[in-house]
Each structure stands twice: as structure tokens, then as C-alpha cells.
Amino acid sequence: MKVATSQERLNELFSSDLRSDSAIATELGVSKQALSSWRKGIRSPKKSILIAIADMYHVGIDWLMGFDVPKEKETTVIPIEVKTEEARFVSMAMDKMPPEYREKAVNVLKAMYGEYFAETEDKIG
């Protein structure tokens, strides 16, 4: 059951953010005008942007859409042993990315360092 509008939920998130609307819009890759139109309920963000907003604020899509569900996003953590500081850094950055960016990042890494990924994929599967 819906208990709020997505406009109300977006305003709750954006209002609790200490950054300016311009900074939020920049991080989402949209204009300040687009963000303003969402706040006013004139327009709604595209699905890909909703996913990015949910990831950015660590909330579930259902909650963001106004449903009566817990605010915090449920996550499944797959533990892996990270042996270097660099690998830990990359892993943490990848965890923060929206899925479509994560996929692009992996494809870039595979294109640049394909032989290392091939060895790893052989060991995994």
C-alpha cells in the first residue's frame, strides 16, 4: 500500500542532504531544473535515475515510490578476501556505483586488462 508520493519521498531525501540542489543534480547527471521539477511534482525521474537516487541514498526503490516498506535498502553482501589496499578501494567504489555504471567499469577493466580477467574467470567458473 502506498503511504506517500514519490515526490514526498524525493523531497525528504533531497532536503536531508546537506549539499545544494546543483550538487545533487550534478552527481545524478541531470539539470537543476529537472531536480526542481521532481521536487514540485511536475515530472518524475526516469527509472534509471530513480535507481541512481535509491543507490545514492541507500534506500529501496519501493520506499522511494511511496510504498509502506522499510526505508533502508536490503543488500546482499558477498564476502571476498581483499588482499591489497588498491583492490579494497576499487571494490568500495564499485559498490557505490549504480548497476549500469558498474557493468561499464567492469567492461573497461576487462578491455584494458583482459588477460588477468580471463585467468580469474577460469578459476571461478
The average confidence (pLDDT) of the chain is: 83
Q: How would residue 122 be classed by pLDDT, with cut points 50, 70 and 90?
A: low
Is the pLDDT score of 120 beyond 70?
no
> Residue 120: inside a domain, yes or no?
yes
pLDDT higher at 108 or 49: 49
Cα-Cα-Cα-Cα torsion 112, 116, 121, 124, nearest 10 degrees, comes to: -140
> Residue 70: inside a domain, yes or no?
no
> Residue 77: inside a domain, yes or no?
no
> Residue 91: inside a domain, yes or no?
yes
Give the mean model confidence (pLDDT) for residues 8-37.
94
60 and 89 share one domain = no
Residue 59 in 3-state DSSP? strand
Is the pLDDT score of 123 beyond 70?
no
- Convert the pLDDT of each residue in 53-95 to its tens digit: 998 998 988 999 999 888 887 655 555 555 677 777 777 788 8
In this predicted structure, what is the pLDDT of residue 125?
47
15 and 46 share one domain = yes
Is the pLDDT score of 44 beyond 80?
yes
Domain extent at residue 33: 6-64
Residue 27 in 3-state DSSP? helix
Distance of alpha carbon 49 from alpha carbon 107, whole angstroms: 21
28 and 60 share one domain = yes
Give the mean model confidence (pLDDT) for residues 114-125.
60
Count of structural domains within the chain: 2
> Residue 1: inside a domain, yes or no?
no
15 and 56 share one domain = yes
Would you say the C-alpha torsion 9, 11, 12, 14 has a positive or negative sign? Answer: positive
Residue 67 in 3-state DSSP? strand
Query: What CATH number is attached to the domain comprising 22?
Result: 1.10.260.40
Q: Measure Cα distances from 80 to 4, 6, 88, 91, 124 in Å.
A: 38, 36, 10, 10, 12
Output the pTM of the full model: 0.59
Residue 72 in 3-state DSSP? strand
In this predicted structure, what is the pLDDT of residue 23?
93
> Residue 30: inside a domain, yes or no?
yes
